[in-house]
Structure 1
Amino acid sequence: MSTDAAELTARLIRCPSVTPEEGGALILLSDVLTAGGFECHRVDRNGVPNLFARWGAKGAARTFGFNGHTDVVPPGDLGSWTHPPFSGFVADGMIWGRGATDMKSGVAAFTAAVLDFVAATPPDGAIILTITGDEEGPGRDGTRAILDWMDQNGERMDVCIVGEPTNPEVFGEMIKIGRRGSMSLNFVAHGVQGHVAYPHRARNPLHALVRLLDQLTGAPLDQGSEHFDPSGLQITTIDCGNPASNVIPETARAVVNIRFNDLHSPDSLFHDIRAKADLVQAETGVSIEITSNISGESFLTAPGPFVDMVAEVVAEQTNRRPVLSTSGGTSDARFIKNHCPVVEFGLVGRFMHQVDERVPVEEIHALKRVYGGMLEKFFS
């Protein structure tokens, strides 16, 4: 009997798994996969729910992996939704609900694909699913925890597909073969407080901070590289907490985020920005502290047999030759790339994180067919 990916999507949506709550989604998947012959393990860490599932023998000669997440962002104002966000309501050829696009439909599609595949044509190899409840959250104890557990238990994937939405407008137009890195920098400028009428008796940290930020935004970081768009730096906040208009503040703060390509590393970016800050310090007498938080480094799964296979299957199933892209934000592929080659392919991401998030039913079935085609080609 064929597994209905759309029906499974609706059942997953009805699980209120807002990060970090499990909401019953991983329990549902574990039950479904166990019934289909998969060996399942909960790999929870620090209260974060995760699921590892394998069909076939550990250490098989060929192992195909899928990765996804069942946690979702909060629904926001419930009164703004046409249908309740955890109803999995089906209307007008759409399934409505939080996670419909990002990415319970992707998880349902690859789960349904692997269940049907192993039932109809048991492969000479193994299939591994790694599903986390911590992709929309901090990401410290989700896919990372599963990969750590796999290393400790001798589990290995040869290749992996992440089922995140990858298509901007039309199903089949894009796969992701890499991602830019993400780095946030926190600046704290320490000056000397004083009266605005006597600036010679003060040192304004805002002036120093604005001078530095102007330098950082005044010229592009690069012009892009062969597979990557140009890096980008955005100021996300500037603040000094000063309620008075006649007082020069003592301290000012700012945060910037950098999405960087393979021409940079976090160390090289920090070194360059630190050097600019040192010059501003010397010119103004205002000290500037900088701390960094790295969400992920840039990476690329270079075009080759695996990427070609994925692109070929997408083209066969959708009649579109997909663009090989590294655009967009971060995903858990940034962790998997240290384990095995990884490519992302999923649905159209138009409605993700929005009120009235929804997905076409037929698109879920089409995604299942693409994943099934990948399995057939990999194990053929």
Structure 2
Amino acid sequence: MPPPSSEGTSVADVVELTKALIAAESVTPARGPVFDVLEAALRPLGFDVDRFVCGEAPDGPVENLIAVRGSGGRHLAFAGHVDVVPAGDGWTAGPFSGEERAGLIYGRGAVDMKGAVAAFVAACAQVPVDAGTLSLLITGDEEGPAVFGTRAIIDRMAERGLAPDLCLVGEPTSTGRLGDMIKIGRRGSVNIWIDVNGRQGHVAYPHLADNPVPRLVRALAEIDALILDEGTEWFQSSNLEATDLSVGNLATNVIPGRASARLSIRFNDLHRGEALVERIRAIVERHTPDAHVVGKVSGEAFLTPPGTFSTLIADAIREHTGLTPELSTTGGTSDARFLSRLCPTVEFGLLNATMHKLDEAVAVEDLRSLQAIYATLIRRALG
């Protein structure tokens, strides 16, 4: 099958561009054809396009794109991703067909988040080239490890001296109707692995063995009883969940020599990831001093306090939909956790009801409305 192309497609046509992006199969980590489609849409609009590949296996290689138009004045960046999760089996039509039926466009990535990328590109076509500085920061790895994705884009921007004043992330934030919710922050995420070593032996001779299970269970009981906080004005309370507990013992008459567990903590801005890892390590070591505890922080919590930027977005949404969006910090993590270090960062995009599901789909009407909202936001943000 030849690589998809946007040739013959109007760059200002959000529907056709969405279909072309969907047709460019791009299971994470994405490279090549989907970026070809995007670049072909951006260059006629006056964007300078910088595509680069970085990283090695197992977390790479990853392709990224930085597109910039204009210079001087306020700089508005749009951030997003064109990689998608695997489609799975059972779709009504091909998951990369971009088929349109009854006012809906079907395909993996329709809402998460190729539709929003297409809407922003189409919106740029409605804004004069000399209206300020616009950039698109698009990665091929948001759904995967995200090691060589947006973080690499940020490094590349620093090398080029690019510093946005505002950043809009096009994640699907709407829940019931387009425009009913925007995200002004996200909780942080940390995973923690706990390994407890013992000494294997026969269950009939426990004095000759050392069972690690009771020690791990006691530690987990204390951890489970933790109340990390009661939440804040903008964040729900932090939560800690045990996501795995394993011994791997296939025999009924053997005391195991090892037991392990895994924890996941989603935390608000009262905490830092590494501090939570150390808190868990201290509890575990009280019960089993020789345990091995390793933590991996996926992202810190961040908050862009309500202000000028969120008001600009809310006003644009209200003008085109009549809705006043809820300002929220709910949900999982996104690449906004990295971009928020650069400037005020807010997320707003399509309905999230079908993302990562079979028959993921976006309404044509929502695509056109999102394009209009983005165009209004661009004019006002750069004005």
TM-score of the two chains, using structure 1 as the length reference: 0.94
- Does the aligned pair in 1 maintain the 2:230–2:236 contact within 8 Å? yes
User: Which of 48, 52, 66 is the equivalent residue of 2:62?
Assistant: 48
Q: Look up the match of 1:194.
A: 201
Report the Cα offset of residue 155 of structure 1. Answer: 1.3
- Does the aligned pair in 1 maintain the 2:190–2:297 contact within 8 Å? yes
The one-letter code matched in structure 1 to 2:68 is R
- The total of aligned residue pairs comes to 369
Report the Cα offset of residue 62 of structure 1. Answer: 1.0
- Does the aligned pair in 1 maintain the 2:274–2:295 contact within 8 Å? no
| Aligned pairs for 1:289-304 within 5 A | 289-304=292-307
Unpaired stretches in structure 2, ≥5 consecutive residues: 1-9, 56-60
Q: Look up the match of 2:85.
A: 73
Q: Look up the match of 1:170.
A: 177
User: Which of 359, 377, 381 is the equivalent residue of 1:378?
Assistant: 381
User: Which of 124, 139, 148 is the equivalent residue of 2:131?
Assistant: 124
User: Which of 41, 51, 56 is the equivalent residue of 1:32?
Assistant: 41
CA distance in 1, matches of 2:320, 2:204: 71
Residue aligned with 2:296, SS:
strand
Does 2:172 match 1:158?
A: no
| Aligned pairs for 1:64-103 within 5 A | 64-77=76-89, 80-103=90-113
- Does the aligned pair in 2 maintain the 1:162–1:345 contact within 8 Å? yes
The one-letter code matched in structure 2 to 1:199 is P
Q: Residues 169 and 198 of structure 1: is their aligned pair in 2 closer, same or farther, counting only changes over 3 Å? A: farther
Q: Look up the match of 1:105.
A: 115
- Does the aligned pair in 2 maintain the 1:16–1:23 contact within 8 Å? no
Residue aligned with 2:152, SS:
helix
- Does the aligned pair in 2 maintain the 1:123–1:379 contact within 8 Å? no
Q: Look up the match of 2:272.
A: 265
Does 2:347 match 1:347?
A: no
Report the Cα offset of residue 123 of structure 1. Answer: 4.1
Q: Look up the match of 1:16.
A: 25
1:334-372: CA deviations, max 9, x gaps?
111111111000011010111111111111111111111
The one-letter code matched in structure 2 to 1:30 is E
The one-letter code matched in structure 2 to 1:40 is V
CA distance in 1, matches of 2:210, 2:311: 59
Unpaired stretches in structure 1, ≥5 consecutive residues: none
Does 2:151 match 1:144?
A: yes
1:194-234: CA deviations, max 9, x gaps?
22233333222122112211221224321111110111111
Q: CA RMSD in A?
A: 1.4
CA distance in 1, matches of 2:297, 2:76: 29
- Does the aligned pair in 2 maintain the 1:43–1:146 contact within 8 Å? no
TM-score of the two chains, using structure 2 as the length reference: 0.93
CA distance in 1, matches of 2:340, 2:62: 22
User: Which of 353, 367, 371 is the equivalent residue of 1:368?
Assistant: 371
CA distance in 2, matches of 1:15, 1:343: 28
Identity of matched residues, %? 46
The one-letter code matched in structure 2 to 1:359 is V
Report the Cα offset of residue 144 of structure 1. Answer: 1.1
Report the Cα offset of residue 96 of structure 1. Answer: 0.5
CA distance in 2, matches of 1:42, 1:180: 30
- Does the aligned pair in 2 maintain the 1:97–1:357 contact within 8 Å? yes
